[in-house]
Amino acid sequence: MDGRPHRAPGASPLLALVLALATLLPQPAARAGLWRPLLDLMRPQLEQRLTAICVEAVADRQPVLASQLEKPCNQLAASASRCLVKETDASGKGLAVLGELLQKELGPEGERIVKRCVARQLGLPATSFDAIPLRQLTQRFSGRRP
């Protein structure tokens, strides 16, 4: 081994840097709050993506309806993104979630946080969907069946 951190083929150089920095940090319990500034920087992009998903899902390719849904979907996306950042920060798993996001995938930590936020958005206890796979929740709320 040459002493350099191992990087999977196709992995982002930014991800490699983040992972290298993580080895210098205290144990996981002390990491909560450490990633909040970076998560806050990512919120506008997250809100834009959530807004687009909301409009696309509800408007069903109807331009007039899509324009009317932009504002309510944006409000919902803002609330959801705040929850995602807050839950990620509070979980102490910010590095894991950031790694998932940088790889443009939603892994186990991200899924857990998304399910907690869905429950909160619906006024349920945060752990309500812990035992349900995210794919199943997505299908249920989109009206599609497995």
pLDDT for position 16 = 53
C-alpha 98/C-alpha 107 separation (Å) is: 10
Q: Work out the average pLDDT over 53-62.
A: 85
**Lowest model confidence (mean pLDDT) among 10-19, 112-121, 122-131:** 10-19
Which residues lie below 8 Å from residue 106, measured CB to CB, with a gap of 6+?
100, 114, 134
Cβ atoms 101, 18 nearer than 8 A: no
Q: Work out the average pLDDT over 53-71.
A: 88
CA distances from 116 to 38, 46, 71, 81, 109 (A): 21, 17, 24, 12, 11
Residue reference for tokens 């809100």: 47
C-alpha 85/C-alpha 94 separation (Å) is: 9
Q: Is the pLDDT of residue 51 over 50?
A: yes
Here the tokens at position 9 are 């083929």
For 83-108, how does the pLDDT look when each residue is reduced to its tens digit (9 = 90+)? 888 888 888 888 888 787 777 777 88
pLDDT for position 31 = 52
Here the tokens at position 131 are 């035992």
DSSP for residue 6:
P
CA distances from 92 to 35, 61, 95 (A): 9, 39, 8
Q: Work out the average pLDDT over 111-127.
A: 88
C-alpha 29/C-alpha 131 separation (Å) is: 24
pTM metric for this prediction: 0.66
Domain spans, the chain? 35-142
